[in-house]
Amino acid sequence: MKPHLLFAEDDFHPEDPLPPGSQSLVADLGLAAVLEAMGGGDDYLRGVATTVTLHSLTDPSVITYRQAVVSDCLEHREIVARIHQLAEGAIAEEKRVWGVFTNVPSGRLHRAVGVLARFTAYLRQLRTIADGSTTRFDSQGMKNLVDTLRSELSDEYLAGMDRHLELLRFRSGVLSSAGLGPGAKASDWRIHLSAEPTLNWWRRFRLWWRRSDALRIVIRPGEDDLASELRGHAINEAAAALSEAMEHVLSFFAALRFELGFYLAAANLHDRLVQLDQPTCRPTLTPEGATTLQAHDLYDAGLVLRSGTGVVTNDLDADGRSLILVTGANQGGKSTFLRALGLAQVMMQAGLFAPASSFSAPVRRGVFTHYQREEISEADLGKLEEELTRMSQVVDWLGPDSLVLLNESFSSTNDAEGAAIASGLIEALLESQVAVACVTHSFELADHFARAGRNDVAFLRAERLEDGTRTFRIVPEPPSPASHAEDLYRRIFGRPPTGPPGDGQDHKEIARPNPADGSVQAGGSRSGHLPAGD
Amino acid sequence: MSDGAASFASILFPKPTQSTEAESASMPASSADLDFDQIVSAVVGGRDEYRLHPFFRLPLDSVDAVVYRQEVFADLDGTPLSDGVDTFANRMRSVRRMLTSAEEMHHRYQRRSWLLTAAVTYVEAVTGLLEDLEKAPISARALVRLRERLCRYVGSDEFEALRQDVVAAREAISEVRYTLLFYARVIVVRRFESEADYGAEISSFFARFRQRDGTDHHLDLAGRPVMDRMERQVLDRVVALFPEAFAALDRFCEAHPAWLDEVVVRFDREVQFYLAFLEVVRSLRASGLPVCYPELSSSSKAEVVSSTYDLALALRFLSQPDGPGPGTVVRNDYSLSGPERIIVVTGPNHGGKTTFARAFGQLHWLAALGCPVPGSRARLFLADRVLCHFGRGEILADMRGRLEDDLVRMREILSQASGASVVILNEIFFSTTVRDAVVLSRAILGTLSQLDALAVCVTFLDELASFDHKTVSMVAGVDAADPTVRTFKLERRPADGRAYAVILAERHGLSHDRVRERLAP
């Protein structure tokens, strides 16, 4: 009896370790804002959203399974929320039942009986909700859940539960058996019901008393503690079995709470984006063998949520391209574009909607990031060494059909060396069927691929108008040698950089990359600088 | 070599008398400088009850005695037999524990029940070990003799009678099952009559809610091993209800008052020497460090060693999961041929010189114990003792006192050294002027050269490197591309002249070809 809302056949294992690189992924893509919106102020929901989203799917059929459940939950949100509330309520109920002496079997048994008795009320309510929603849902996931609740929580079953809980109060004595363990101590205890259920316990007991093969021990005053210790052994099996039963029911409620939680979190996110007037879409999964990679009105959902306003959207037409290479002006929206692309991919692979008016992409075997970072390592590792160490780790995680997002990788060494390392690496990745999206200020690197005349590369540039204005749009265009850092310099300093701009080399000296576009913007308020809407 | 029919006494010594020498030997002074005491502690750790330290104190005096142990190591190294011996040892440990328990019991049948369990385990231990020895393709003399000895023992009438009585009593006791009814102030005891298991019914009723394997909810009620008054009353009634079973138990106890065999008990202790060392060997290999069986000679001092390393350092790294990892331990090769006897090691500070010197000493010590050694290949001379002098490295105000102390210790070492010894000198005479240090060191090297002893001399004095035809010079390496980077390896690397960044990338496995290799399916 499992919710199976996240996988049609399998359980979700929240305790499984997150895929490697998850921490970087969250930081580099600005995923925190998205997860925050999913939580909607509830830490538990935020945790569920984080775990499920980061355990990226690779099976297209599971993605479409979840997409359907997401639609159902957006449609019938109140039913979903009621079931979720019940699960939450049952879990809270368990915590309210105090156990006295739960370090001895009788106390433990007593508590388990009490908790399960309260659970039966919640189970009956679940049944009622299920009975009332038989025709509401369209998704296989929700239909299955309703069917499961109705068949597994039948009237007969619920009545049986009441009967067991009554028997386990042992109102008429305890019957148990044991064998001889090491040192002749009683072992292998078992608990029994009488073989003569029609007799009442007192008459059965008298029957026993008279039997010649039955020997008696009369508990004398002062032996009560010893006797109850022995009785504890006798009911330990029952206490263990019922405590386990309690744990199982609890784990069922927990699974229900968790799995529904993800869809409630999806609805929260959807609400926020609708509120901000942003489009969302159900992503189209590119079938195996095809190479469609298309996006319309793609935007950085994290940026929208952080800034509380619409931002520039972009289109992408990159069918058959396994390398997307974005060059162009600093502060021109390159990193924002890369984040938008990464986020859309990650959300798609969690079964969520995508932040775009349409999004078609192949399902990737893992999404990874390598972003140039501020110095974060210990002092004995040079900056380049730190970058290389991280990249080597990423290479360990990569495989065919995975996607890696590179943002200004290897810019901690000079342009020529950085480009030499990056071009060799990227070529090797492409040859190994790894898809790459790369943002770089390095003309050298971009030019390397431009000259190679490859048809599997999409060249994009941060748009810059004749007068030097940035539109923050990313447009298809081959790389050009200047990186326009002087524009930025001019904007911040209010005057051109010293000396007339010469060839591209000079510009590159000034245009050291910023690890995350926007993070060093003057003025502190990000949104203030962001042109709204499209 | 002994004849095949020789009787078995010890798995460690071909001649039984040697074991008593080992018991009384003390740990040589050099063990601390060589970190050999750390190695021993790591090896015998967790096996205190076997008192293994003495076995690591006494170097063996003949190649034959070394081979006697190497044979056993080889037969136990990663073989099913080693698991078999492990099982045997675990059973023997249980036997000892059970016999102790029996002593502590007051109720006659509690005591007898423990004796029975101990005997059951002992019979399993002995017969299991014999079975494993018969299945295994053993070639070690020691193990062949042990097998013969066990074969005779297990075949004896006495053992057979023990086995039969044990089996009969255990079966009878295991069939006892009784029912207890608790009601009001009375407990009724009777024989079990196949009542249904209600606990199982509960479990299966609620199983539909199960999401994953839950935790075990049984309270651990083991309590005291000695029964209380209530338990004793129950046991008395169980004895009355099952007289046949307890009669079988009585029969076993009265017929077999004592059954531990002396040779089995001794083997149980001594074989731990091998198991303990092999456990270390396993974890070294698992982390990619080579271990090999050295080929020893008591006459030739020509040595060839590949990929050896400081075992104490490797074990320290192994025990620190957050550390650099044992794979980073530097490995070195060396060889001595013809007249070569003394390796003079020079090079930058903290360049791996002392580590090499320790490794050299450990190598000879381990080899003389019959143990496998760190390295992928080793041909070694069987040393009679390993002596060492480690200078303290720091310069003290009282230079004269320190120098005097150095010289006194040096004299002691040289008086113990023979042509068959291994001598390790580390930064000697650090506490005097360079001129004096050269003079004194040359005198010491001259003595060693005359003795014809094998030696390693770590020094900052470059001129010692070419002392005479017996000295070999080795230099702690630096990276040719960047002289500030130490390789900790005693060799040089040719310069390759590429840009530093690209070399770095390659070192991180990020060159085009390396990435292709790493991502190959």
DSSP conformation letters of B136-192: S----HHHHHHHHHHHHHHHSHHHHHHHHHHHHHHHHHHT-EEEEEEETTEEEEEE-
Q: What residues of chain B, 106 to 135, have a C-beta less than 8 Å from chain A? A: 107, 109-110, 113-114, 117
Helices B311-318 and B353-368: angle between axes, nearest 10 degrees: 100
Residues on chain A touching B174 (C-beta within 8 angstroms):
179-180
Instruction: Residue B179: name the closest of B166, B157, B198 by CA.
Output: B198
For the beta sheet containing B422-426, the strands, ordered from the edge strand earlier in sequence to the opposite edge, are B386-390, B422-426, B454-458, B342-346, B471-475
Select from B101, B113, B211 the Cβ nearest to the Cβ of A252. Answer: B211
In order of A5, A83, A188, B210, the CA distances from A253 in angstroms are 13, 10, 32, 10
Q: B100 to chain A, minimum CA–CA distance in Å?
A: 12
Contacts of residue B37, Cβ cutoff 8 Å, sequence gap at least 6? B27, B31
State whether A185 and B218 contact (CB < 8 Å): no
Cα distance from B247 to chain A (closest Cα, Å)?
Answer: 14
Q: Is B243 on the interface with A (CB under 8 A)?
A: no
Segment A241-250 shows an average pLDDT of 94
Residue of A nearest to B118 (CA): A182
CB < 8 Å from A in window 264-303 of B: none
CA distances from A91 to A78, A283, A431, B156 (A): 20, 35, 51, 66
Query: Is the alpha carbon torsion for B163, B166, B170, B171 positive or negative?
Result: positive
More confident residue, B477 or A87: A87
Hey, of A217, A368, A401, A434, which one would you mutate to test binding to chain B, going by the most B CBs within 10 A of its CB?
A217
The percent helix, strand, coil of chain A (3-state, each to 5) is 50, 15, 35
- Chain B residues in contact with A177 (beta carbon < 8 A): 177-180, 192, 195
**Cα–Cα distance, A460 to A479 (Å, whole number):** 8
| B221 touching chain A per CB within 8 A | yes
Residues of A in contact with B238 (CB under 8 A): 180
Are B263 and B302 within 8 A, CB to CB? no
Terminal C-alpha separation, chain B: 54
Pick A434's closest partner by Cβ from B191, B504, B519: B519
Which residues from chain A sit within 8 angstroms of residue B179, using beta carbons? 175-177, 192
Q: Can you give the pLDDT at residue B78?
A: 87
Task: For chain B, 521 residues long, give each residue's pLDDT as a single digit of tens.
Answer: 344 445 788 999 988 666 666 677 777 777 888 999 999 999 999 999 999 999 998 889 899 999 999 999 999 998 999 999 999 999 999 999 999 999 999 999 999 999 999 999 999 999 999 999 999 999 999 999 999 999 999 999 999 999 999 999 999 999 999 999 888 888 999 999 888 999 999 999 999 998 888 788 888 877 788 999 999 999 999 999 999 999 999 999 999 999 999 999 999 999 999 999 999 999 999 989 999 999 999 999 999 999 999 999 999 988 887 777 777 788 899 999 999 999 988 776 556 788 899 999 999 999 999 999 999 999 999 999 999 988 654 444 455 566 777 788 888 888 899 999 999 998 777 656 656 777 888 888 998 999 999 999 988 777 787 788 888 888 776 555 554 455 666 643 222 334 456 667 777 889 888 899 899 87
Buried b (16+ CB within 10 A) or exposed e, A239-250: bbbbbbbbbbbb
CA dist B346 and B464 (Å) reads 9
Mutation target among A116, A151, A166, A177 for the B interface, most CBs of B within 10 A: A177
Does A199 have pLDDT greater than 60? no
pLDDT at A510 over 80: no
**Residue A59 or residue A513, greater confidence:** A59
Half-sphere CA count of B295, side-chain side, radius 13 A: 11
- Separation of alpha carbons A131 and B159, rounded Å: 72
B219 to chain A, any CB pair closer than 8 A? The answer is: yes
Residue type, B382: L
Q: Which residues of B touch A413 (CB under 8 A)?
A: 501
Going by pLDDT thresholds of 50, 70 and 90, the confidence category of residue A194 is low
Angstrom distance (rounded) from CA A301 to CA B154: 78
- Residue whose token pair is 């056993």: B72
**Sign of the CA dihedral with A421 first, then A427, A431, and A435 last:** positive
pLDDT top residue among B483 and A237: A237
Q: CA gyration radius for chain A?
A: 32
- pLDDT score of B440: 82
Long-range contacts of B496-505 (CB under 8 A, 24+ apart): B499/A417, B499/A420, B501/A384, B501/A413, B501/A414, B501/A417, B501/A418, B501/A420, B501/A421, B502/A417, B502/A420, B502/A421, B504/A384, B504/A385, B504/A388, B505/A388, B505/A421, B505/A424, B505/A425
Tens of pLDDT along A310-366? Answer: 888 999 999 999 999 998 766 778 899 999 999 999 999 999 999 999 999 999 999
Query: Taking the CB of residue B348, how many other CB atoms lie within 10 A of it?
Result: 15
State the nearest Cα–Cα gap between B359 and chain A, in angstroms: 28
CB contact under 8 A, B512 and A425: yes
Q: What is the DSSP string of A425-494?
A: HHHHHHHTT-EEEEE---HHHHHHHHHTT-SSEEEEEEEE-TTS-EEEEEEE----S---HHHHHHHHHS
pLDDT at A196: 52
Residues of B within 8 A of A243 (CB-CB) are 217
Q: Is B435 an 8 Å CB contact of chain A?
A: no
Mean pLDDT score, A418-430: 91
**pLDDT at residue A203, rounded to an integer:** 65
Q: Residue A105 and residue B221: Cβ atoms within 8 Å? A: yes
Task: Classify the phi-psi angles of B520: left when phi > 0, otherwise alpha if psi is within -120 to 50, otherwise beta.
Answer: beta
Structure tokens at B92: 């023997």
ipTM of the prediction: 0.78
Inspect the interface and report whether the beta carbons of B225 and A425 lie closer than 8 Å. no
Residue A386 pLDDT grade (very low, low, confident, very high; cuts 50, 70, 90)? confident
Q: Which residues between 487 and 506 in chain B have a beta carbon less than 8 angstroms from any beta carbon of chain A?
A: 499, 501-502, 504-505
Distance CA B230, CA B245 (A): 21
Helix B36-44 to helix B262-286 angle, to the nearest 10 degrees? Answer: 110
Q: What is residue A5's DSSP assignment?
A: S
Contact of B319 with chain A, judged by CB distance below 8 Å, is answered with no
- Residue A379: per-residue pLDDT: 33
Instruction: Answer yes or no: are the C-beta atoms of A281 and A274 closer than 8 Å.
Output: no
Number of H helices, E strands in chain A: 18, 13
Nearest C-alpha neighbor of A184 from the set B152, B334, B242, B25: B242
Q: How many CB atoms lie within 10 A of CB B1?
A: 9
pLDDT > 50? residue A527: no
Q: What is the per-residue pLDDT for B428?
A: 77
Name B416's Cβ contacts closer than 8 Å, sequence gap at least 6: B385, B387
Structural tokens at position A264: 């409630």
A245 contact residues in B (CB cutoff 8 A): 202-203, 205-206, 209
How close, in Å, is residue B341 to chain A by CA atoms?
40
Q: What is the 3-state secondary structure (H, E, C) of A89-151?
A: HHHHHHHHCCCCCCCCHHHHHHHHHHHHHHHHHHHHHHHHHHHHCCCCCCCHHHHHHHHHHHH
Compare A40 and A172 and report the one with higher pLDDT: A40
Q: Is B185 near chain A, with CB under 8 Å?
A: yes
Distance of CA A380 to the CA centre of its chain: 35
Q: Do A208 and B190 touch (CB under 8 A)?
A: yes
Look at residue A300 and tell me whether its pLDDT is greater than 60: yes
Nearest residue on chain B to A232, alpha-carbon basis: B221
pLDDT for residue A529: 35
Q: Which amino acid is at A388?
A: L
- Write out the two tokens for B500: 């530093």
Tell me the β-bridge partners of A405. Answer: A369, A437
Between the alpha carbon of residue B184 and those of residues A219, A387, B178, the distances in Å are: 9, 75, 20
Q: What is the pLDDT of residue A208?
A: 64
Shortest distance, CA A84 to any CA of chain B (angstroms) = 17
Backbone angles phi, psi at B478, to 5 degrees: -125, 160
- Using alpha carbons only, give the angle A431, A437, A439 rounded to the nearest 5 degrees: 125
pLDDT of residue A481: 53
For residues B11 and B143, give the distance between their C-alpha atoms in angstroms, rounded to a whole number. 7
Tell me the pLDDT tens digit for each residue of A94-104: 998 887 777 88
**Contact at CB, B209 and A214, closer than 8 angstroms:** no
Report residue A480's pLDDT band, with 50, 70 and 90 as the boundaries: low
Distance CA A392, CA A428 (A): 13
pLDDT confidence tier of residue A501, bands split at 50, 70 and 90: very low
Binding-face residues of B in 138-177 toward A, CB within 8 A: 173-174, 176-177
Q: Using a CB-CB distance cutoff of 8 angstroms, which residues of chain A are in contact with residue B237?
A: 215, 217
d(CA A397, CA A391): 10
Question: In 3-state terms, what secondary structure has residue A500?
Answer: coil
How many contacts, defined by CB atoms under 8 Å, are there between A and B? 273
pLDDT digits (tens, 9 = 90+) for A144-175: 999 999 999 999 999 999 999 998 988 778 99
